[in-house]
Structure 1
């Protein structure tokens, strides 16, 4: 598809924990409308989203619907709970059916995680253009990752929850971690709340040499180490509130990954290109809403979910 006015319009919904962004667009250069809706109760929030999509469809008859949502989500199209939020810690949202606003328009529709959507958007319009395999990691209130292989977001039994991987601990570090499910998984060691719980102050207030950062860098380096040896990405993009505004973080993380891989197998090829291999996303805070558009375009290209 060519970018611009000839590309079909998609109704995109980025469903977040505090707000939802509804966007009518075909890509970053052709955004027709954008509506922000507070995330309150499922009935109120999903009803407002449905009303927005109905208005757009009456006016412009969009060609597809794409949803990029917080999770966990049931992404099995054959499941009776397809597009339901499942097992979430967000009060009132467990089993919330996103199908409530997706169905009945007579157009292809698809849902994926917010990080998978961001990864797909970076592949179409951002820092992963032209790559077959890449990963988008967000480090903020939680840690999530969207894994794209051969241009498709990975899913199977569920969707990737790489923030909950367990990695080797830094020598001498016995802090139990902050994750309510797994304690010292990557999210429990390197997310914003984990860093604040360990240091007693928010990450953005810490000096670069604070010990809490060393532990977080080690955990994130372990996550990328595992990704390199499993998903074999051609690039790893790292965004999110914790990673933003810390210019020293990327050099330290690159060094940690190179040292952790220790020259095994094909990994020596990473050293000369490590600055380009681990880098910031290109779309910034637009990756989220554009991710919903990318999910919808993928559905349209695949003829459905």
Structure 2
């Protein structure tokens, strides 16, 4: 019997842009459209205008957050309290459900990308792996046993605090936590901290020492917590600066300090820490993966 893979309308909502994708996976992308992320009403109307022209079996929504993922909560399917002005409390799922009447999968953008990496990318066949995005914000998607890790709410590891570099007095960009990791190395934080966007900084500038230090702290905590079989780092900031990956590996190995079972882990970082196998498509394909999860595809 030939198995028919459901056709998914994937919607990846990012802080600066949204990408709508129609397909079943990386080898079958039938349509794709990019939409600027502005105010909720304008952005969601533009997404619906794209979806109105497609035929599909299910929808996958992978969004920036924080999100309400508890299906029993009154505000399930909404963005909760976010750093993005105007988006707190925005419903993402119920309106799509009323409009299209199709099954809808709903996850954070980083969990979606992690699921895509496990289904098609560099984490294929792995049980425990992570995806970190560094762009408008900093997010961490962690998959264990093939499923996104979630407790009372989804994790917010991008907002963990790490030891500051000596002499670094930057107060931080995050309006909730100040100098959490997102407040130190997200795109807006780098622009404020260094007086110019990260893309304008030369590769050998000392500012990148602070970036490596701060992201290295997040990586140390992530590895000591979960020891993921692989960690992918994506997002606009790192995509333009992949030369930092060897420095991050060295920083992480030094930080782990040869401790216990992690001594061997530190020796394998060339394979364990790197860019997403799906490249810039990890996010858009993450939305497809979220849609496939809800229909068992």
Equivalent-residue separation in structure 1 for 2:29 and 2:121 (angstroms): 16
Equivalent-residue separation in structure 1 for 2:66 and 2:242 (angstroms): 31
TM-score under structure 2 normalisation?
A: 0.91
* Matching of residue 82 in structure 1 with residue 76 in structure 2: yes
Which residue is 1:251 aligned to?
246
Which residue is 1:10 aligned to?
8
The number of equivalent residue pairs is 295
TM-score under structure 1 normalisation?
A: 0.89
Which residue is 2:144 aligned to?
149
Check 1:301–1:181 CA distance in 2 against 1; reply closer, same or farther (3 A cut).
same
Equivalent-residue separation in structure 2 for 1:182 and 1:91 (angstroms): 16
Which residue is 2:85 aligned to?
91
Which residue is 1:195 aligned to?
190
Gaps of 5+ in 2: none
Which residue is 2:292 aligned to?
297
Gaps of 5+ in 1: none
**Residues 166 and 186, structure 1, Cα contact 8 Å, conserved in 2:** yes
Tell me, what secondary structure is at the counterpart of 2:209?
helix
Which whole-Å deviations, capped at 9, do the CAs of 1:84-114 have from their partners, x for residues lacking one? 1111233332211112113464443111111
Equivalent-residue separation in structure 1 for 2:37 and 2:200 (angstroms): 28
**Residues 15 and 136, structure 2, Cα contact 8 Å, conserved in 1:** no
Counterparts in 2 of 1:259-274, with a 5 A limit? Answer: 259-274=254-269
Aligned with 1:67 (options 46, 49, 61): 61
Check 1:64–1:236 CA distance in 2 against 1; reply closer, same or farther (3 A cut).
same
Which residue is 2:181 aligned to?
186
**Residues 116 and 145, structure 1, Cα contact 8 Å, conserved in 2:** yes
Equivalent-residue separation in structure 2 for 1:263 and 1:272 (angstroms): 9
**Residues 46 and 101, structure 1, Cα contact 8 Å, conserved in 2:** no
**Residues 24 and 31, structure 1, Cα contact 8 Å, conserved in 2:** yes
